[in-house]
Amino acid sequence: MLANVNATRMELLRLRKRITLAKRGHRLLSEKRDEISRQLIQIARDIQPLRQKVEQALLLTFRRFMLARATMEPEDVKSAMAVPTKRFKMAIEFASVMNVRVPRLTKDIEGDIICYGYGCTSGELDVALQSLEKAIDSLVELAQKEKQARLLAVELQMTRRRVNVLEYIVIPEMQETIKFIYAKLGEVERDNITRLMKITDIIRK
């Protein structure tokens, strides 16, 4: 590769500019990598207790639904849940975290989750539905944070790869090329000096 390099001063100046830009890019990407890592660590700390909270809430809700089914006729359960009166809408907005578009979920809930009369239903069904309603907030928050973590993890992997390419391949290769050009220019300079000295000796004779 070095044999094909034009060992000229113009090429040397061009490489100096390129290596300056490469080092600046390496510094900025390293800062981005570190910040994304910090953000991921924080999100991971938030996700673990939140997931436990959601799992416990859903497990409790499931148990209450099972208890409600045990205290009601199957036909009454189907009839009670046939016409829901609560409407749930989800909107997605995007925020930028270190140039990564991450989602922010917002929910719009209307109506009452109790969508039936009380004549043929048990109180356990009421409790189960109310428990599910309370779990939704944490479930939405968990989904948002897990999606953010996945997107940031992908960006972190790409950024690390770019940092490594600059640090271990691009910058060292340019440094070697600059050394090669310096050596070649030094050889040319020495040859010129030798040639001038010989010409001077010939003229003096």
Q: Which of 53, 57, 151 is closest to 99 using CA atoms?
A: 151
Annotate 90-110 with b (16+ C-beta within 10 A) or e (fewer).
Answer: eeeeeeeebebebeeeeeeee
Most confidently predicted of 138-147, 159-168, 184-193 = 159-168
Does the residue 170 lie in any domain?
yes
Q: Residue 130 burial (CB < 10 Å; 0-12/13-18/19+)?
A: middle
**98 domain residue, yes or no:** yes
Query: Tell me: the pLDDT tens digits for 104-162?
Result: 888 777 777 777 666 667 778 878 888 888 888 888 899 999 999 999 999 999 999 99
Tell me whether residue 204 is in a domain: no
Q: How confident is the model at residue 196 (pLDDT cuts 50, 70, 90)?
A: confident
Q: How many structural domains comprise the chain?
A: 1
The CATH number given to whatever domain includes residue 99 is 1.10.287.3240
Query: Which run of H or of E encompasses 106?
Result: strand 100-110
Domain presence at residue 203? no
pLDDT at position 27: 96
What would the pLDDT profile of 88-104 be if each residue is shown by its tens digit?
A: 777 888 888 778 888 88
pLDDT digits 0-9 by tens, 41-58: 999 999 999 999 999 999
Q: What is the pLDDT of residue 171?
A: 95
The predicted model gives 73-82 an average pLDDT of: 75
Name residue, tokens 């046939």.
Answer: 82
Question: Would 81 be classed as within a structural domain?
Answer: yes
Q: What is the mean pLDDT of the chain?
A: 85
Domain region containing 124:
2-197
Extract the tokens encoding 80.
């009670």
Distance CA 107, CA 194 (A): 82
In the chain, the percentage of residues whose pLDDT exceeds 90 is 41
DSSP string of 79-95? HHTSS---EEEEEEEEE
For residues 133 and 113, the answer to whether their CB atoms sit within 8 Å is yes
Q: What is the model's pLDDT at position 1?
A: 53
